[in-house]
Amino acid sequence: MAAKILHGIPVSAGISIGRAYLLSQGHYCLAPMQSISQDLVEVETARLNQAFAQALESLQQIRKQIPREQSDHAAILDTHIMVLKDPKLRQATEHYIRDMHLNAEWALEKGVADIESSFQGIEDEYFRARVQELRLLTRRVMNQLLGNNDSIKSITSRVILIAHDLSPADTVELDVSKIMAFATAQGGRTSHVAILARTLEIPAVVGVEDLESSVSDNQFIVVDGFRGQIVIDPDETELTQYTDLKYSFEAYQKEVIRKRDLPAETRDGHRVQLHANIELFEEVSKVLDYSGDGVGLYRTEYSYLYRVELPTEQELIEEYRDLASILHPRRLVIRTLDAGGDKLGHGFEHLEEANPVLGLRAVRFCLRHQDIFKTQLRAILRASQAGNISLMFPMISGLGELREVLSVLDQTKEELAAEGLAFDAEIPVGIMIELPSAVMIADILARYVDFFSIGTNDLIQYSLGIDRTNKYVSHLYQPLHPALLRSIKRVVDAGHKAGIEVSMCGEMASDPYCLPILIGMHVDSLSLNPQSIPWIKRILRKLTMEECADLLTRILRLDSVSESNKLVRETIFKRFPDELQFHSSILEEEEE
């Protein structure tokens, strides 16, 4: 038996076996606290200044490496550089060495704490939040003082990187050829590490409980990116099992990739579009690598979230235009901002919302902040000249809201026309169906739009009234709940009756167990993470429309989730025993 098995969220498939490398992130709690004698004051002051200089130098190096297209990262780093140069910060820390006779580490800790407390009284949340970044940033100085020059850069052999979390600034320095896998204590499916790992195609598990206290440097571990486990000190038997799994997965992967260019159709010739969900510009290359038919969901929040100021119209035009031209003639579906003010961190009014998930977000937020909304719409429209862009609105709850959104869109089109600016007047407009209310009136909504995209992640949570990240109720997250299956079928049928296309862009679309049911319902296109496209294509090409329709008929007759799960599991597992050992499923594992 292994010494210990830790559990987290699997975010990138694969098995990695190797030595752990713990990235020390300059934790303040490690700082030695000592009083010093008068004759050491100059020595400690010099140590502090040198630590600042080295931290500054390393940031400036990182800054140089940032490619031009990542101007938002560059802006964040510029600010960080100015903070490290800040005379106030130096004075605040030096004062503790000179006047209080504390050692450099303790002085830094006290100086930073003083500046933090000077920010406490600020009412505006945006400004108050900035000071939290100060502690993260001055960790670099602390690292220098503690002699942890173990920046990511100093990794020389291939390792499994263990960290609390990694920011874009951290990973800029990463020599990815040295990293076999990631495990982090923080994060979720869409955190920076998760996306990076999927892009690099290396295993990753995030949100691992007790990670930092359980794994020590250089320890022998296994990262299981299928089941989301970190196995510490595996025994012989476990090691053999994991090694076998690793090799068979790699062989399977090669086979899948070899056949990625074959058409996405069933054995009896039913063609399904396989699109990609992406949220970073860089991911677009993966869409082409994995032979996706286009992008079915471009999440646009990233340009707003990880920066200190709102993106300008020009910036967004360039981003959307570049994406569209890389993908051309493939389709690019751009979803408008799907977040609330809390995520934007631009000094937006701080709302006391008891339930932000049911609050001012997505189109509701956009309708309240029409300047932000219009800037984005103008950018999407102006980029749409290429002719392959579609526009999609998230979280539509009813016809009134849809009409309001469409009226802002029409207004924006008129303004552009009046300014003599070109755009695609025929740009297809769709909505995400992710609220039960939209499901119930899908037939009405279908008359106003060109396509539907079913967002199952939220639809499941809103329909069943659960938060899937809440461990007390996450077992209720059941994609095959009869209510969900009926909802999806209702939306597909309503869309097709109105002559519009229906796609699906939730995780269900990339679940091999759900695939035959969706095909049986005649969903026109599936949008999934780019890496999953060749896998799903492989399974799709082994199915027939007839067996999918038959499974759908049988499953729609069942009364309960456990019956549907059992039926699907048995039927599909029998058909694809080899493939399914490498796929995690969102279906609840039955208790043995």
Partner 1 sequence: MNTTMTDSISKQVYIRNELGLHARPAAQIAQEAAKFSARIKLKVGTMEADAKSVLDILSLAAGRGKSITLQAEGQDAEKAIGHLERFFLDGFGES
3-class DSSP assignment, residue 204: strand
CB nearer partner 1, residue 271 or residue 346? 346
Residue of 38, 87, 400, 577 that binds partner 1 (CB under 8 A): 87
Q: State the minimum distance, in angstroms, from the CB of residue 363 to partner 1.
A: 21
Q: DSSP string spanning 214-250? A: H--TT-EEEEETTTTEEEES--HHHHHHHHHHHHHHH
Candidate segments 279-287, 296-304, 305-313, 457-465, binder of partner 1 by CB under 8 A: 305-313
Residue of 86, 322, 450, 524 that binds partner 1 (CB under 8 A): 86
79 binds partner 1 (CB under 8 A): yes
142 binds partner 1 (CB under 8 A): no
* Sequence letter at residue 178: K
Residue with tokens 């027939």: 544
Size of the site for partner 1 (CB under 8 A): 30
Asked if 29 is an active-site residue, the reply is: no
Query: Are 45 and 108 spatial neighbours (Cβ–Cβ below 8 Å)?
Result: no
C-alpha to C-alpha distance for 242 and 234, rounded to whole angstroms: 9
CB nearer partner 1, residue 75 or residue 440? 75
Order across the sheet with 4-7: list the strands: 4-7, 229-232, 220-224, 15-22, 159-163, 179-184, 204-206, 9-12
Candidate segments 85-93, 179-187, 240-248, 420-428, binder of partner 1 by CB under 8 A: 85-93
Q: State the minimum distance, in angstroms, from the CB of residue 61 to partner 1.
A: 18
CB nearer partner 1, residue 119 or residue 220? 119
Residue of 30, 34, 60, 85 that binds partner 1 (CB under 8 A): 85
Query: Are 291 and 258 spatial neighbours (Cβ–Cβ below 8 Å)?
Result: no
Kindly state the tokens that stand for 336: 């408008």
Site string for partner 1, 28-67 (x = CB under 8 A): ----------------------------------------
Query: Are 178 and 156 spatial neighbours (Cβ–Cβ below 8 Å)?
Result: yes
CB nearer partner 1, residue 133 or residue 165? 133
Query: Are 16 and 222 spatial neighbours (Cβ–Cβ below 8 Å)?
Result: yes
Distances (CA, A) of 271 to 344, 502, 519: 40, 14, 10
C-alpha to C-alpha distance for 72 and 49, rounded to whole angstroms: 29
C-alpha to C-alpha distance for 232 and 242, rounded to whole angstroms: 13
Q: DSSP string spanning 118-169? A: HHTT---HHHHHHHHHHHHHHHHHHHHHTT----GGG--S-EEEEES---HH
306 binds partner 1 (CB under 8 A): no
CB nearer partner 1, residue 28 or residue 126? 126
Residue of 41, 75, 444, 558 that binds partner 1 (CB under 8 A): 75
Q: State the minimum distance, in angstroms, from the CB of residue 140 to partner 1.
A: 16
C-alpha to C-alpha distance for 384 and 390, rounded to whole angstroms: 8
Asked if 514 is an active-site residue, the reply is: no
83 binds partner 1 (CB under 8 A): yes
CB nearer partner 1, residue 78 or residue 414? 78
Q: Is the dihedral of CA 257, 259, 261, 267 positive or negative?
A: negative
Positions in 411-450 near partner 1 (CB under 8 A): none
Q: Which of 73, 80, 481, 505 is catalytic?
A: 505
Q: State the minimum distance, in angstroms, from the CB of residue 134 to partner 1.
A: 7
C-alpha to C-alpha distance for 185 and 206, rounded to whole angstroms: 6
Candidate segments 77-85, 202-210, 411-419, 549-557, binder of partner 1 by CB under 8 A: 77-85
> From the CB of residue 38, how many other CB atoms can be counted at a distance below 10 Å?
8
CB nearer partner 1, residue 72 or residue 105? 72
Site string for partner 1, 332-351 (x = CB under 8 A): --------------xx----
368 binds partner 1 (CB under 8 A): no
The CA-based dihedral angle spanning residues 572, 576, 579, 585, taken in that order and rounded to the nearest 10 degrees? 10
Q: Which of 73, 80, 192, 275 is catalytic?
A: 192
CB nearer partner 1, residue 79 or residue 553? 79
Q: What angle do CA 209, 212, 218 make, to 5 degrees?
A: 125
Q: State the minimum distance, in angstroms, from the CB of residue 44 to partner 1.
A: 22
Backbone angles phi, psi at 20, to 5 degrees: -85, 140
Positions in 96-135 near partner 1 (CB under 8 A): 115, 118-119, 122-124, 126-127, 130-131, 134
Residues forming contacts to partner 1 in the complex (CB under 8 A) are 75, 78-79, 81-83, 85-89, 115, 118-119, 122-124, 126-127, 130-131, 134, 308-310, 312-313, 346-347, 371
The set of catalytic residues is 192, 505
